[in-house]
Amino acid sequence: MRLLLADDDPISALLLRQRLEGWSYDVTQVDNGRDALRELQAPDAPRLAILDWEMPGLNGLDVIQHLRNTPNAQERYVYTLLLTSRNQEADTVKGLDAGADDFLTKPYRPAELQARLRVGQRFLQLQNNLLAAQEELRRQAFQDPLTRLPNRRTVLKRLREDLSRCRRDNQPLGLLMLDLDRFKNINDTYGHSAGDAVLQEASIRMQHALRSYDMVGRFGGEEFMVVLPNADAAGTISVAERICSSVRASPLLQSGGPIPFTCSIGAALSAPGMIIPERELINAADAALYHSKNSGRDQVTAAWRLAAA
């Protein structure tokens, strides 16, 4: 594990470094507080630090206080052990109150120092596990676990945000509702694991057909929603047809044989000057989707063309 050692006494620092390297630590050594702070605030900084209390520039307490006041300090926490010749209870309290995680007086016993460093490593591992768990929970809250696409909640939120912005800027917005054709037949014929593979592959192909600022999300089952900000009628149909073409491009190769699959799409449009509630826009795209499926599947239907018919 990487470790920062900050001590302005060259002899004691050399002896301590040799001991730490003998314990398999990768040691970065500095002899003043300013250099220590710079090293600990670097993007790839060590997460474990031994700081001498008395140093030129900034002392050990100063370094710790700067670290604790750094924005997002908890996301990349540095476990600090304050090393000092001070041995009064008030000094211990002062050091811990400043944000030090541990406190060791000189002359230290090597076995005790090694044990305290192991405590620091366990603390950092537990924090890494906690942050990883928090990130996983955050990901699960916004992402569909199978396709890795934004989930229903996330894509609906994006629709509300983009719809509000496009209205404010007098820009159009296209909405697509998409359904994989005869998906139940795929599950019944090839099995649910093959159906999952089709969902995953279709999700990848959809994303490849989008512009960089569009969003596709899994709406539920084999149904997807695509939000197309700043897309007029022609642009919305163009993206929809590109998705259809991408999805049908080639069968998915599985052990049970190649699985062809296609999709049907319904398109709706919020044009400049129009105030269409979010639910009505979704319903219009849904109605167009059902028309696509009832008209032979593997095609795009525009809601505005149905309304004009």
pLDDT in tens, 228-253: 999 999 999 999 999 999 999 999 99
Other Cβ atoms within 10 Å of 29 Cβ, number: 19
Task: Catalogue the long-range contacts made by 129-136 (C-beta closer than 8 Å, 24 or more residues apart).
Answer: 131/75
Catalytic annotation, residues: 222
Q: Answer yes or no: do 200 and 262 share one domain.
A: yes
In a domain, 147, yes or no: no
Residues with Cβ within 8 Å of 111's Cβ and at least 6 positions away in sequence, in order, are none
Dihedral class, residue 302 (left if φ above 0, else alpha if ψ from -120 to 50, else beta) = beta
In a domain, 146, yes or no: no
Domains contained in the chain, number: 2
The CATH number that applies at residue 56 is 3.40.50.2300
**Which tokens is 175 given?**
């909405």
Q: Answer yes or no: do 200 and 129 share one domain.
A: no
Q: Answer yes or no: do 49 and 189 share one domain.
A: no
Query: Which residue among 95, 113, 140 closes a domain?
Result: 140
H-helix or E-strand spanning residue 211:
none
In a domain, 145, yes or no: no
Q: Answer yes or no: do 42 and 189 share one domain.
A: no
pLDDT in tens, 93-148: 777 777 888 888 888 889 999 999 999 999 999 988 988 888 878 877 889 999 99
Task: Catalogue the long-range contacts made by 275-284 (C-beta closer than 8 Å, 24 or more residues apart).
Answer: 275/167, 278/156, 278/159, 278/160, 278/163, 281/159, 281/163, 281/175, 282/159, 282/175, 282/177, 282/225
Q: Answer yes or no: do 90 and 171 share one domain.
A: no
Q: Answer yes or no: do 70 and 212 share one domain.
A: no
Measure the CA–CA gap between 163 and 81, rounded to whole angstroms. Answer: 53
Q: Answer yes or no: do 161 and 289 share one domain.
A: yes
What is the pTM (predicted TM-score) of this model?
Answer: 0.65
Segments of the chain scoring below 50 in pLDDT:
none
Q: Which domain holds residue 77?
A: 2-140
**Which tokens is 28 given?**
């970065």
Q: Answer yes or no: do 8 and 116 share one domain.
A: yes
